[in-house]
Amino acid sequence: MFPKELLLAVICSASLSLWIFNKKEIAIVIAISFSFFTFFLGFISYPSLLLIVLFSLSCYYYKNTKNVFFRFPLSALILLFSLLPFTTLLQSSQQVPIFSGERFSPISAPFWMGINIEKGVCGIILAAFLLNISRSFSNWKKIFKEFIPVYIILTVVLLLPAYLTNFIKYDFKLPENMYLFIANNLLLTCVAEEVIFRGFLQKNLNNIFVKNFKMSKAAPLLSLLLTAILFGLFHYKSGILMIVFAFLAGIGYGYAFQKSEKIESAILVHFGVNITHFIFFTYPFYKV
pLDDT in tens, 25-77: 999 999 999 999 999 999 999 999 999 999 999 999 999 998 888 888 999 99
Q: Which of 257, 201, 209 is nearest to 86 (CA)?
A: 201
107 within some domain: yes
Kind plus residue range of the DSSP H or E element containing 101: strand 96-102
Segment 247-263 shows an average pLDDT of 96
| 288 domain-assigned | no
Reported confidence tier of residue 214, pLDDT bands at 50, 70, 90: confident
Nearest to 24 by CA among 99, 128, 104, 115: 128
Q: Tell how far CA 148 is from the center of its chain.
A: 19
pLDDT of 177 higher than 80: yes
Nearest CA to 123 among 93, 82, 156?
A: 82
Q: What band does 288 get if pLDDT is binned at 50, 70 and 90?
A: low
Residue 20 in any domain: the answer is: yes
- The pLDDT of residue 173 is above 90: yes
Q: What is the DSSP letter of 109?
A: P
Q: What count of Cα atoms within 13 Å lies in the side-chain half-sphere of residue 283?
A: 20
pTM, entire model: 0.96
Residues 205, 227: contact at Cβ < 8 Å? yes
Pairwise pLDDT comparison (128 vs 87), residue with the higher score: 128
Check whether 2 has a pLDDT greater than 80: no
Residue 262 placed within a domain:
yes
Name the strand (E) or helix (H) holding 96.
Answer: strand 96-102
pLDDT of residue 164: 94
Q: Are 124 and 14 in contact (CB under 8 A)?
A: yes
Beta pairing, strands 111-115 & 96-102: antiparallel
pLDDT of 66? 84
Per-residue model confidence as pLDDT tens digits over 78-96: 999 999 998 877 777 899 9
Q: Compute the residue count for the chain.
A: 288
Residue 93 CB partners (closer than 8 Å, separation 6+): 43, 44, 45, 47, 48, 117, 118
Asked if residue 62 is part of any domain, the answer here is yes
| pLDDT(1) > 70 | no
Q: Please give the Cα distance from 72 to 77 (Å, whole number).
A: 9
Q: Roughly how many angstroms between the first and final C-alpha of the chain, as a whole number?
A: 35
Q: What percent of the chain is predicted at pLDDT more than 90? A: 83
Question: Which range of residues forms the domain containing residue 196?
Answer: 4-280
Tally of domains within the chain: 1
DSSP reduced 3-state for 48: helix
Structure confidence at residue 32 (pLDDT): 97
pLDDT band per the 50, 70, 90 thresholds, residue 99? very high
Looking at the chain, the whole-number percentage of residues with pLDDT higher than 70 is 99
CA dist., res. 167 & res. 165, Å (int): 5
246-260 as b/e: b if 16+ CB within 10 A: bbbbbbbbbbbbbbb
Neighbours of 271 (CB within 10 A): 20
pLDDT above 90: residue 16: yes
**Residues whose CB is less than 8 angstroms from the CB of residue 192 and which lie 6 or more positions away in sequence, other chains included:** 116, 119, 120, 122, 123, 124
Q: How many CB atoms lie within 10 A of CB 100?
A: 10
Answer whether 34's CB lies under 8 Å from 11's CB. yes
Does 287 fall in a domain? no
> Residue 186 — pLDDT band, cuts 50, 70, 90?
very high
pLDDT at 12 over 90: yes
CB 75 within 8 A of CB 88: no
Question: 113 in helix, strand or coil?
Answer: strand
In a domain? residue 286: no
